Structure 1
Amino acid sequence: MVTTAPYGTWPSPVDARTVAAHDGRPAFVGVVGDEVWWTEPRPAEGGRRALIRRRPDGTEESVLPAPWNVRSRVLEYGGQPWAATVTERGPLVVFSDFADQRLYAYAPEHDEAPRPLTPLSGVGDGLRWVDPVLRPDLGEVWCVLEEFTGDRPTDVRRVIAAVPLDGSAAEHRDAVRELSDDRHRFVTGPRISPDGRRAAWIAWDHPHMPWDGTLVMLARITAGGAFEDIRPLVGGLGPTAADGGGSGESVAQIEWAADGALLFVSDLSGWWEVQRIDPDAADDDVVASRALCPAREEEFGGPLWNIGQRWFLPLDNGTLAVIHGRGATTLGILDPVSGELVDSAGPWTEWAPHLAVHGSRVVGIAAGPHSSYEIVELDTCTGRSRVIACRHADVLDPAYYPRPQSRTFTGPGGRDVHAHIHPPHHPDHTAPEGELPPFVVWAHGGPTGRAPLVLDLEIAYFTSRGIGVAEVNYGGSTGYGRAYRERLRGQWGVVDVEDCAAVARALADEGSADRARLAIRGGSAGGWTTAASLTATDLYACGTISYPILDLAGWATGETHDFESRYLESLVGPFAEVPDRYRERSPLHRADRITAPFLLLQGLDDVICPPAQCERFLAEVAGRGIPHAYLPFAGEGHGFRRAETIMRAVEAELSLYAQTFGITRSDVPVLELRG
């Protein structure tokens, strides 16, 4: 029997504990011999990342017990944190541990405990490592070294380095060999050619972000394992914002083909495309490349937020496994000769940029609107796909899951705005006739990123209670080509705010949402968009701001980490040239315009968006009579990983909406709002 009750009051089995227990997803999948390994989140274990192995018989086990946390902090967002190979003594894994960021070696079949390979450093934030490549023939592991040279977050250098596997560098920095120089601010790990004679990697420099412009660097490897004749091969950094804007060529990934050609993903055409180049076919320093699947107006790559991401990999038969799509992604097999692309079958509509291959098999991480992220294996010989690990299991009746719709709305000037709309949904409840539902606009982080259309129990937490969710892929989002991505150039705090508002207003205009009960929320860059929206419009009744940027000038002058320290030059403009713009757009300096209640959530260990900005913002709001709450979380950084934190944050957000929208609920603690 269907019960009639107001929106927002419906009972739901999707509680905060369930949301927290299923937060996060597997990542960094790889093949070790005949086994598949990956990292997965453990919210109940302090939010650590566990390294998991799946044996050929299907059994799974954790490679390392708690508190080992396989996670790198290079660029703060990390990247590929482990590499492994099979030796005569069984698997040997090298990994970065989050606690001290040292590299460790571990043979699960023999060693009692991991052995440190790299030293600690008392300078700044020390030494960090990511994207390792094992070279057992040389007795080394090659990877990116991030080395702090002073106490400021921008006192840092990055090189490709060789670390001895025998542990001789565990106490001696001098035992680490530097393979590349530090001519470039940022580098990825090396990719070694099939004959072992060449190494290639991606590099870029401030003020560019890797989706603005990168270079592919090439070096010869000497018999002793040194790099020589280092030179750029393809790519381009392009002009900076100070030179009039625009950008260069973004190469997001490189891999070697079996015949010695270099494969790479470039967005020179306006879309990230897979290309091939012969490093020896140089003519007056100009090398011609060839697109392998041109003119599809789809993305075969994405923003390089994590070093070691993989959108494609070559298979033994010469074909390529590729992740591609427009606004969504699928896994396909590309014939580089004919350009024919055949997509795999299955219910998955989003593939994470973490691929591995084993013979004719491809292993990836995929999800869909009705399933969470799973580890999927594609047999390219039979075309059959199957889930081999992290299988989605319905922890509650899927009748409570949202029924999302991907839509395109019209923004200012007639521009397209893409969004995923999750209306309220409950199998046993409906609202009184004529009542319109409250809706919350979700602004994703990045801002150079995208909200994928996948099952998210946090969304179900709200929709199953009668509160709709609209995930907006505002201008600046990835997945829709470079022109869409660059709409945010110089317009952060304008285009994102306008696009979110356009979707909210459209839902209200068409009668899908209650205009008086609209809210907005987001974390990181989404927290910025939320705060900026609350200071720019009276459209929203309230907002939830998580680990945000609130003061552009502070963020541009030393209050964030090195990777994004000059990001604002493209998003806003050079600080020295447009200081007034930094002040005018910052929520910190527009706090007097906020009239809506808000919830502010912040990790106290966040070095990307530090709590100092929240504290200054709260000081500006104090005494203005605006109901608000501030929940700081000790031990949390940029994004929440601990189960208890996630539970508290979700319940506090629901309480904010209940109080603001006039909804009575007894299943969550009442959030105390102070004026």
Structure 2
Amino acid sequence: MTKQAPYGTWPSPIDARLVAAHDGRPEFLGAVGGELWWTEPRPEEGGRRALMRLAADGRGPAASVLPPPWNVRNRVIEYGGLPWAGTPRGEDGPLIVFTDFADQRLYAVEPDAPDGAAPRALTPLSTVTDGGLRWCDPVIVPELDEVWCVLEEFTGEGPTELRRLLAAVPLDGSAARDRARVRELTGDTDRFLTGPRLSPDGQRLAWIAWDHPAMPWDGTRVRTARVTEEGTLTGLREVAGGAAESVVQAEWAYDGSLLIASDASGWWNLQRIDVAAAERGEDVRAVPLCPREEEFAAGIWKIGQRWFAPLPNGLVATLHGRGAQTLGVLDPETGELVDTAGPWTEWAASLAVIDSRVTGVAASPRSSSEIVELDTRTGHTLVLASRHEDHVDPAYYPEPQIRTFTGPDGREIHAHIYPPHHPEYTAPDGELPPYAVWVHGGPTSRAPLVLDLEIAYFTSRGIGVAEVNYGGSTGYGREYRNRLREQWGVVDVEDCAAVARTLAEEGTADPARLAIRGGSAGGWTSAASLTSPAAEGVYACGTISYPILDLEGWALGETHDFESHYLESLVGPLAETRARYRERSPLHGAHRVTVPFLLLQGLDDVICPPVQCERFLEEVQGRGVPHAYLAFEGEGHGFRRADSIVRAVESELSLYTQTFGLVRDDIPSVELSK
């Protein structure tokens, strides 16, 4: 029998510990011979990433290869990238190289060695404070007994004093004692680059590069070179890309042609380039393989992501879609694209190929991320690992709605709406539910429509969630992304407010109980929404996590190199638009904050450093606005440790409980000071 209780007071079996235990998903999936390897989050083990292995026969559970505290992750461009590579060696088992987060060194390990050999270092300890040498996106080259990868080398103490290049590290460990043993394959004239991609015959190399002030979704260049017998590069040329064309992935097909994901059409679509013909001096143009107003890729936030993967038979496994990405198999000769059968609606940029089989990481609104195999010969799919389990009755999961709202000037705004949902409780007749507007990070990113226990934590208690893919988000073409150019703090704020207002006006949400929350760029939008006249009076409170709060400070050295020029496109050139930087910054609008807020920050965050929070709090102090500041030791940009996640989630609910006048006694109360 259904019970009745006010929204926001319902009991729920989805507690913060359950949320924390299932935070994150498998990542960086790859094949080593017939085996599958990937990294997996371990919130309960200090937030480390474990390296996982699944046997070629697919039988038995996947095994963690390295015990704690090994943490297979790197800090290249701070967001990191592909941290491991492997090669099969017959009866001796695979050789695996990986980066460890603690010291950022590159290591090698032979997991099947009879003596259980421990990992051995391949690169030297850093000589510059805070990690002078970092390695990413490795590829093992057995013929040369080397691993080729991106090298990020700090040359000074500042966050932008560094160089990046492609480098070759000997597998014999000699570079662990002698930095001079590392061969530099390219110069450091490109500020950013992805890792090397060797052609099937080993004679050509391809990679992607870009420079400040462009971000990789603005404009990149595809470079190729010939590989000599000695392993040096010659005949460097640029075969695709440009200042206004974003190429985010390049892979060699088995016939020797180069496949790329380019947004030259306004959408990231797949194209093919005849590099051999270009080397002969012929006029070569990229050939579209399946032109559609859909995205076959997304922005490079982590180096080494893989949205498509060529198969030996000439077909191409590829993600594609609008506002979501599913897995399909493309015949590049005919342009025919056949989607994978199954319940999964969102596939991550992590694909691996073994013969005719493609494996990826997939989820849906009813299932968390699973490792799924598609047999392209039969069309059959199979969950291989990380199988979704319902740790509570799925009746407690929310039932999302895909909606399009209308914003200022009639523009479309895409959003996912998660109404409050509980199998045993309803609210009293006539009561409208509180809602929290969730703002994704990036901002050049998007919120996927997948099962998220943190969303279910709130909806099962009677608090609705609205995830807004505001103008500037990926997934809807370049024109939609470009809405945010020089409009950050305007379009994102207006779009979120338009969704909130519409929900209130149509009777879906209680207009007096609306909240906004987000982390990183989402923290910026949340803070800007509490200080901008464009959202005045919309929100009753806000949760602001590891945010940007002072645009000038961020532009003048208070962030890492990757995003140090990002504001030139998001806001404008600082020298010409300095007044705009001050006008939009929550720091300088702190006097307009009138509602309670929660501020969450990792003390080790170098992307959005704690100093910005501290300055903002100084401006708010003494103004009579209830607020709490929770700083987490050992956490960087985003929270990875189970205890941190639990405290953050429960504190957010406590803010809503106090602000919305809810009665609960099942969570610790966060003290709001004035």
Report the TM-score range of the alignment, normalised by the length of the smaller protein.
over 0.9
> What is the alpha-carbon distance in structure 2 between the residues aligned to residue 60 and residue 387 of structure 1?
12
Alignment-derived partner of residue 606 in structure 2: 607
> Which amino acid in 2 is paired with 1:171?
R
Query: Conserved in 2, the CA contact under 8 Å of 1:58 and 1:388?
Result: no
Query: Conserved in 1, the CA contact under 8 Å of 2:145 and 2:170?
Result: yes
> Which amino acid in 2 is paired with 1:665?
R
- Give the alignment partner of residue 92 of structure 1, picking from 86, 91, 95: 95
Alignment-derived partner of residue 22 in structure 2: 22
Indicate the SS of the match to 1:539.
coil
Alignment-derived partner of residue 187 in structure 1: 193
Shift of 1:510: 0.5
Alignment-derived partner of residue 586 in structure 1: 585
Alignment-derived partner of residue 196 in structure 1: 202
Shift of 1:310: 0.5
> Which amino acid in 2 is paired with 1:544?
T
> What is the alpha-carbon distance in structure 1 between the residues aligned to residue 460 and residue 566 of structure 2?
38
Alignment-derived partner of residue 183 in structure 2: 177
Alignment of structure 1 residues 499-518 onto 2, 5 Å: 499-518=495-514
Shift of 1:197: 1.0
Partner deviation per Cα, 1:302-324 (whole Å, 9 max, x = no partner): 00111101010111110000000
> What is the alpha-carbon distance in structure 2 between the residues aligned to residue 215 and residue 286 of structure 1?
18
Q: Mark the CA change 1:205 to 1:286 in structure 2 (over 3 Å): closer, same or farther.
A: farther
> Which amino acid in 2 is paired with 1:181?
G
Alignment-derived partner of residue 408 in structure 1: 404
> Which amino acid in 2 is paired with 1:11?
P
Query: Conserved in 1, the CA contact under 8 Å of 2:307 and 2:318?
Result: yes
Alignment of structure 1 residues 104-119 onto 2, 5 Å: 104-110=107-113, 111-119=116-124
Alignment-derived partner of residue 420 in structure 2: 424
> What is the alpha-carbon distance in structure 2 between the residues aligned to residue 566 and residue 234 of structure 1?
23
> Which amino acid in 2 is paired with 1:352?
A
Q: Mark the CA change 1:428 to 1:173 in structure 2 (over 3 Å): closer, same or farther.
A: same
Alignment of structure 1 residues 175-574 onto 2, 5 Å: 175-237=181-243, 248-282=244-278, 286-294=283-291, 296-536=292-532, 537-574=536-573
Indicate the SS of the match to 2:88.
strand
> What is the alpha-carbon distance in structure 2 between the residues aligned to residue 484 and residue 543 of structure 1?
26
> Which amino acid in 2 is paired with 1:209?
M
Query: Conserved in 1, the CA contact under 8 Å of 2:213 and 2:566?
Result: yes
1:162 lines up with 2:158 in the alignment: no
1:75 lines up with 2:72 in the alignment: no
> What is the alpha-carbon distance in structure 1 between the residues aligned to residue 427 and residue 173 of structure 2?
65
Shift of 1:286: 4.5
Partner deviation per Cα, 1:90-126 (whole Å, 9 max, x = no partner): 1110000000000000001114210000001222431
Q: Mark the CA change 1:229 to 1:604 in structure 2 (over 3 Å): closer, same or farther.
A: same
Shift of 1:129: 0.4
Alignment-derived partner of residue 9 in structure 2: 9
Deviates more, 1:583-592 or 1:227-236: 227-236
> What is the alpha-carbon distance in structure 2 between the residues aligned to residue 278 and residue 60 of structure 1?
40
> What is the alpha-carbon distance in structure 2 between the residues aligned to residue 470 and residue 174 of structure 1?
53
Indicate the SS of the match to 1:342.
strand
Partner deviation per Cα, 1:579-628 (whole Å, 9 max, x = no partner): 11101100000000000100000000000000000000000000000000
> Which amino acid in 1 is paired with 2:61?
T
> What is the alpha-carbon distance in structure 2 between the residues aligned to residue 160 and residue 285 of structure 1?
28
Alignment-derived partner of residue 37 in structure 1: 37
> What is the alpha-carbon distance in structure 2 between the residues aligned to residue 5 and residue 608 of structure 1?
42
> What is the alpha-carbon distance in structure 2 between the residues aligned to residue 258 and residue 355 of structure 1?
16
1:130 lines up with 2:130 in the alignment: no
> What is the alpha-carbon distance in structure 2 between the residues aligned to residue 252 and residue 58 of structure 1?
36
Deviates more, 1:348-357 or 1:116-125: 116-125
> Which amino acid in 2 is paired with 1:193?
S
TM-score, normalization by structure 2: 0.98
Indicate the SS of the match to 2:383.
strand
Indicate the SS of the match to 1:576.
helix
> What is the alpha-carbon distance in structure 2 between the residues aligned to residue 519 and residue 656 of structure 1?
10
Indicate the SS of the match to 2:526.
helix
Query: Conserved in 2, the CA contact under 8 Å of 1:599 and 1:653?
Result: yes
> What is the alpha-carbon distance in structure 2 between the residues aligned to residue 169 and residue 351 of structure 1?
38
Partner deviation per Cα, 1:182-206 (whole Å, 9 max, x = no partner): 1110011111111211101000000
Query: Conserved in 2, the CA contact under 8 Å of 1:145 and 1:161?
Result: yes
Shift of 1:287: 2.3
> Which amino acid in 2 is paired with 1:58?
G
Shift of 1:285: 7.3
> Which amino acid in 2 is paired with 1:137?
E
Alignment-derived partner of residue 242 in structure 1: none
Deviates more, 1:124-133 or 1:319-328: 124-133
Query: Conserved in 2, the CA contact under 8 Å of 1:538 and 1:595?
Result: no
> What is the alpha-carbon distance in structure 2 between the residues aligned to residue 225 and residue 122 of structure 1?
27
Query: Conserved in 1, the CA contact under 8 Å of 2:21 and 2:642?
Result: yes
Indicate the SS of the match to 1:671.
coil
Shift of 1:59: 3.0
Query: Conserved in 1, the CA contact under 8 Å of 2:266 and 2:478?
Result: yes
Indicate the SS of the match to 1:578.
helix
> What is the alpha-carbon distance in structure 1 between the residues aligned to residue 141 and residue 51 of structure 2?
21
Alignment of structure 1 residues 40-59 onto 2, 5 Å: 40-55=40-55, 56=57, 57-59=59-61
Query: Conserved in 1, the CA contact under 8 Å of 2:543 and 2:599?
Result: yes
> What is the alpha-carbon distance in structure 2 between the residues aligned to residue 317 and residue 43 of structure 1?
40
> What is the alpha-carbon distance in structure 2 between the residues aligned to residue 256 and residue 333 of structure 1?
17
> What is the alpha-carbon distance in structure 2 between the residues aligned to residue 630 and residue 392 of structure 1?
35
Q: How many residues align?
A: 664
Partner deviation per Cα, 1:316-349 (whole Å, 9 max, x = no partner): 1100000000001110000000000000101111
Query: Conserved in 1, the CA contact under 8 Å of 2:255 and 2:314?
Result: no
In structure 1, the gaps of 5 or more residues are 238-247
Alignment-derived partner of residue 243 in structure 1: none
> Which amino acid in 2 is paired with 1:334?
L
Query: Conserved in 1, the CA contact under 8 Å of 2:260 and 2:272?
Result: yes
Shift of 1:284: 6.5
> What is the alpha-carbon distance in structure 1 between the residues aligned to residue 301 and residue 177 of structure 2?
31
Indicate the SS of the match to 2:650.
helix
Indicate the SS of the match to 2:653.
helix
> What is the alpha-carbon distance in structure 2 between the residues aligned to residue 556 and residue 79 of structure 1?
24
Shift of 1:34: 1.8
> Which amino acid in 1 is paired with 2:101?
F
Partner deviation per Cα, 1:441-498 (whole Å, 9 max, x = no partner): 0000000000000000000000000000000000000000000011000000000000
> What is the alpha-carbon distance in structure 1 between the residues aligned to residue 281 and residue 626 of structure 2?
66
Shift of 1:235: 0.4
> What is the alpha-carbon distance in structure 2 between the residues aligned to residue 409 and residue 60 of structure 1?
43
Q: Mark the CA change 1:286 to 1:153 in structure 2 (over 3 Å): closer, same or farther.
A: farther
Alignment-derived partner of residue 640 in structure 1: 639
Indicate the SS of the match to 2:157.
coil
Q: Point out 4+ residue stretches in structure 1 off by more than 3 angstroms.
A: 282-286
> Which amino acid in 2 is paired with 1:262?
L
- Give the alignment partner of residue 63 of structure 2, picking from 61, 72, 78: 61
> What is the alpha-carbon distance in structure 2 between the residues aligned to residue 60 and residue 410 of structure 1?
46
Indicate the SS of the match to 1:287.
coil
Indicate the SS of the match to 1:450.
coil
